[in-house]
Chain A
Amino acid sequence: MIEPQHHGRRRLPPLAVLAVVLLLAGTALVVVALRSQRHAPQPPASAAVPLGAVTASPARTPDAGTNPPRRSPVSSGPVLARALPLQLVIPAIGVSTDLLQLGLNPDHSVQVPPLSRHSEAGWYKYSPTPGQLGPAVILGHVDSAEYGPAVFFRLGALRPGNTLSITRADHTAAVFRIDRVVSYPKDHFPTLQFYGNTGNAALRLITCGGKFDFTTRNYESNIVAYASLVSSHPA
């Protein structure tokens, strides 16, 4: 039996239309989903090398055979009085955040800011205030468990020479310059380099990086940006 021809040249068969719509919609979904993947930038090895012009003092004391001075070493570069930090701005990576104050967890690890949609960075309050002699420490999340990128998502994109500004409670703005940006596996974290004494007013910005361990729900590395105070001005 010959069926009447419902589909001629001017009318597309409904199944074909449906097929095309489904294919287009499906492809669009996959393409959009793939293009909106966001992964935190990781610093290249070259970012760990400081620029020649930066006057940051190394944290390490002199070689074996000499003894470290009993008192604090003579400092280099500008040094400010103690004042609580209130705000951090890093133009190169679009960061502008109020600063929380963070302490210690009962297990003696450093507290981290809450994981919320509007994540803020925090200053570790048992470190010097940014601008004082020594290593001031500021922590921020790279991402949260639910809300995607967080305040320090792009920390790994900082490079030596970038500047940042911290506004303090004494109405001064402390301007720091990035010396180097390094990624460390957490099980080889350089405690003395990070927390150790410095000969200048220094800053460490830290977040997570590297691979994420889905079993322990922790990143395997930390990304650290080391910076030195270069100037200050009224804020």
Chain B
Amino acid sequence: MKKPLLLLAPAAAIGLAVLAMPGTASAAGNSYQAQLNALNHSSGSGSVMISLNGSQATITEHFSGLAATFGGKPYPHVQHIHIGAQGQCPTTAADKNGDGVISTTEGGPSYGAIGTTLSTSGDTSPAAGTTLTVAPSGASTDYQRSITLDSKTLASLKAGTAVVVVHGLDPATLSKTAQGEKSDLVPSLPLAATSPALCGTLVASQMSSIPGGSASTGGGSTAGLQHAGWIELGAGLILAGAAAGGVGMRRRTATTR
């Protein structure tokens, strides 16, 4: 049986230690958030939060509901911060060639060119924009990374024209025409692979810094069975009492012969 009263909580030690230090996270930065909405009949959704400290950005992102596999393997969803245009997500009016899909290029006037690649590791420049091996893959992701943003991306972010786009559609949701088309970015890939699936404009957050994750606000002394020692002692006394009673009963029957 667990004894929750006994141990010191690591959280207590951490809390005390950190509060004793001067501010370890600068408040000089600010934060941005984007709600990722589905494009091109995708069924996904997600959110992005960026905590900025100078040019250092801590990016926390979650998305779910995207196409899960590509050629039998987890579907790589390249994703970027697009910059320098209208800071908007494209509407269906952007589908110039009428194939039912807004390609990355067709969306360009709305959200602009790639400013930063939100890769899982390594290069975050536009050069890594279509590197499938460093794209989060599968139907959902929980992405967290601290990267340095270049001056163009920073300027766009502060101007309200930075847009997060996650690419990669389920080919089965495309029209027959679109299923047969090649990607406008990487001709060896189908159109579905690089077309936008999720899009959201980064807006200034009302928080000046957004923490990662939830809060550790409990040490557990009201979890499980409490006062276990008392219960054990009480049980012991009951057993002793029963034993004494048993002995007493035997003596009584012995002496009555």
* Cα–Cα, bound, A108→B145 (Å): 11
Could you say which of B87, B230, B241, B245 has the most chain A C-beta atoms within 10 Å of its C-beta?
A: B241
Which chain A residues in 181-232 approach chain B with CB under 8 Å?
184, 186, 189, 191-192, 195-198, 206-209, 211-212, 214, 217-219, 222
* Cα–Cα, bound, A184→B215 (Å): 11
What residues of chain A lie closer than 8 Å to B200, measured between beta carbons?
68
* Cα–Cα, bound, A146→B221 (Å): 6
Cross-chain contact of A26 among B210, B225, B240, B247 (Cβ < 8 A): B240
Cross-chain contact of A222 among B24, B209, B215, B252 (Cβ < 8 A): B215
Asked whether any CB of chain A lies closer than 8 Å to the CB of B156, the reply is no
> B interface, how many residues as a size bin?
35 or more
> A interface, how many residues as a size bin?
35 or more
Q: Map CB proximity to A onto B224-240 as digits: 1 under 8 Å, 0 otherwise.
A: 11110011011111111
A36/B226 in contact, CB under 8 A: yes
Query: Knowing A111-B18, A197-B205 touch, does A103 contact B238 (C-beta < 8 A)?
Result: no
Cross-chain contact of B47 among A29, A126, A134, A196 (Cβ < 8 A): A196
Asked whether any CB of chain B lies closer than 8 Å to the CB of A25, the reply is yes
Summed over the interface, the residue pairs from A and B with CB atoms below 8 Å come to a total of: 281
Flag the segment in A12-20, A47-55, A172-180 that touches B: A12-20
What residues of chain B lie closer than 8 Å to A15, measured between beta carbons?
244-245, 247-248, 251
Asked whether any CB of chain A lies closer than 8 Å to the CB of B5, the reply is yes
Flag the segment in A37-45, A88-96, A163-171 that touches B: A37-45
B242/A19 in contact, CB under 8 A: yes
Q: Map CB proximity to B onto A148-170 as digits: 1 under 8 Å, 0 otherwise.
A: 11101100000000000000000
Query: Knowing A67-B89, A143-B222 touch, does A207 contact B203 (C-beta < 8 A)?
Result: no
What residues of chain B lie closer than 8 Å to A81, measured between beta carbons?
none
B residues sitting closer than 8 Å to A (CB atoms) are 2, 4-5, 7-12, 14-16, 18-19, 23-25, 27, 33, 35, 37-39, 47, 49, 51, 58, 60, 62, 87-89, 91-92, 160, 200-201, 203-227, 230-231, 233-242, 244-245, 247-248, 251-252, 255
Closest CB pairs A-B (n = 3): A134-B206, A26-B237, A22-B241
